[in-house]
Amino acid sequence: MEERLLDLEIKLAFRDKLVADLDALVRTLGDRVDAMQRELEQLKKALVSPELPVGPSNDRPPHY
């Protein structure tokens, strides 16, 4: 009985550690997803209204 209880306590300790590690991973990935979403929104806004004109008006004249 004592050995069985010890085995269950060991398994529980490993599961607690696993849950803590997975929680940290999920939080980290969530932060990265949030940052990527902000970056994507900035890129979308830049495509809609670029600060610098894109195309021939931004090219150097041929005599340069």
Q: Is residue 5 pLDDT above 80, yes or no?
A: yes
pTM for this predicted structure: 0.62
Q: What does the pLDDT read at residue 33?
A: 98
Confidence at 40, pLDDT banded by 50, 70, 90: very high
Residue 22 host element (H or E): helix 2-48
Contacts of 52 (CB under 8 A, 6+ apart): 58
Better-predicted residue by pLDDT, 60 or 56: 60
In this structure, are residues 36 and 28 in contact, taking their beta carbons and an 8 Å threshold?
Answer: no
Contacts of 11 (CB under 8 A, 6+ apart): none
Q: What does the pLDDT read at residue 2?
A: 93
Confidence at 6, pLDDT banded by 50, 70, 90: very high
